[in-house]
Structure 1
């Protein structure tokens, strides 16, 4: 048994980021062609595109502000014109900001998180799911959430608010499109080791690891592996799920 995404095309938003790049490589290694979305980092997008093409995959880079409906629709038009329809959408992009307390957090930060966590997913669904329904071959929408929504620690309010809103959209959407064999799921990483940590030798953090049952931080590859599983036919009967990939640091209750 193996994950085979041959003949599938995957769009990954925020694909030039630390986690996005690993997800792109992982889905490509499973056989998928890749749409590399970026907002500002055209050079990294071009570099990643060359890397994926060297693996024998079709790949293209596309710029878009995922917080704007017209930009997401223009991205869809460009993708379908240049490479074809999309089977798998991975919503990974998020706006970064400085965390602080509710009393000190700028209102604009709550707006940015709503736009990048909630509205991005609404726009992606409106842009790409109709063609999945029309083709009748199913499809995958996979959102990157966070363990933070179950922690609610100090300083997390804007991020948690945005990701909790995203969770609501995903659960409702899963019910609405399930009859078309389109699955809608969320992957919720813990504090993940990326290339940035490897370069800085900051993979370990004892204070964090102390509360993790597996006593370590997860890796970007471990997150990407779960995304690949959800993108594949092996996950065909899973939808509406919020799946922590956090070493047991958070455990949703029933």
Structure 2
């Protein structure tokens, strides 16, 4: 019997679904059969467009707005999703308030560190508090997937605000994997490299020879390649993988033992 990646009868929620990566993840999960709740912070128009695309695929979708660092807002979002679609059994934490340009530790604004803590650490804490208790109560397991970054391993110059948030996120999700593992809920992280997105295709900026030269596969990855790993982790094919940090960066960074 051939292996299949089938998410039919599953309900997924994706934070930051209107972002460059979030959109592709949402469509990929929908194409695999999932109904999808699309979280956005400010781009209601893009969220509505994405909902229409998913519904055109024959799947159900809804849009929800919330500040991911605000627990009451996240709990309200959960209630809206449950009313519209049912209880999610796949959670994808993709939202991030990106700090740019990066600066040295001595020059970075303190507000940037707070921003990254809120969008990386509190985001994941609040998302877990909102959605994992229902997974535990149902007793059928579930999937929690956090979108991290290769930068968390690189910790290069000027990345301190961004990587401090993402490393904090990593710690939270590793602990969470141990705490909810007995409930057959898996918790994993996908860490993209510098990924080709829709905006790159529009601008013709897909290629970057300097970056590609540092990647073993000698190219930048695509948003679809990242979304494929998310879909795999959301599926039954990944039922015995938890606590993993999986770079999707062509070998640009490699976790060691």
Q: TM-score normalised to the size of structure 2?
A: 0.98
Superimposed CA distance per residue, residues 224-251 of structure 1 (whole angstroms, 9 cap, x where no aligned partner): 0000000000000000000000000000
Superimposed CA distance per residue, residues 16-47 of structure 1 (whole angstroms, 9 cap, x where no aligned partner): 01100000000000000000000000000000
In the alignment, the residues of structure 1 paired with residue 112 and residue 195 of structure 2 have an alpha-carbon distance, to the nearest angstrom, of: 23
Number of residue-to-residue matches in the alignment: 254
Superimposed CA distance per residue, residues 170-196 of structure 1 (whole angstroms, 9 cap, x where no aligned partner): 110000000110000000000000010
In the alignment, the residues of structure 1 paired with residue 195 and residue 5 of structure 2 have an alpha-carbon distance, to the nearest angstrom, of: 23
In the alignment, the residues of structure 2 paired with residue 192 and residue 132 of structure 1 have an alpha-carbon distance, to the nearest angstrom, of: 32
Q: 2:98 aligns with which of 96, 99, 102?
A: 96
In the alignment, the residues of structure 1 paired with residue 107 and residue 98 of structure 2 have an alpha-carbon distance, to the nearest angstrom, of: 17
Paired position in structure 2 for 1:189: 192
| 1:155 shift after superposition | 1.2
Paired position in structure 2 for 1:64: 66
Q: 2:179 aligns with which of 163, 176, 180?
A: 176
Q: 2:141 aligns with which of 125, 138, 143?
A: 138
Q: Does 1:22 align with 2:32?
A: no
In the alignment, the residues of structure 2 paired with residue 140 and residue 117 of structure 1 have an alpha-carbon distance, to the nearest angstrom, of: 18
Q: Which segments of structure 1 move beyond 3 Å, counting only runs of 4 or more?
A: none
Paired position in structure 2 for 1:166: 169
Does the residue aligned with 2:86 lie in a helix, a strand or coil? coil
In the alignment, the residues of structure 2 paired with residue 80 and residue 203 of structure 1 have an alpha-carbon distance, to the nearest angstrom, of: 39
Paired position in structure 2 for 1:215: 218
| 1:150 shift after superposition | 1.0
Q: 1:53 aligns with which of 49, 52, 55?
A: 55
**Range moving further from structure 2, 91-100 or 241-250:** 91-100
Q: TM-score normalised to the size of structure 1?
A: 0.99
In the alignment, the residues of structure 1 paired with residue 123 and residue 98 of structure 2 have an alpha-carbon distance, to the nearest angstrom, of: 14
Paired position in structure 2 for 1:32: 34
| 1:97 shift after superposition | 2.0
In the alignment, the residues of structure 2 paired with residue 74 and residue 178 of structure 1 have an alpha-carbon distance, to the nearest angstrom, of: 26
In the alignment, the residues of structure 1 paired with residue 38 and residue 51 of structure 2 have an alpha-carbon distance, to the nearest angstrom, of: 7
In the alignment, the residues of structure 1 paired with residue 173 and residue 98 of structure 2 have an alpha-carbon distance, to the nearest angstrom, of: 21
Paired position in structure 1 for 2:10: 8
| 1:2 shift after superposition | 1.5
| 1:153 shift after superposition | 1.0
Unaligned runs of 5+ in 2: none
Paired position in structure 2 for 1:119: 122
In the alignment, the residues of structure 2 paired with residue 67 and residue 123 of structure 1 have an alpha-carbon distance, to the nearest angstrom, of: 7
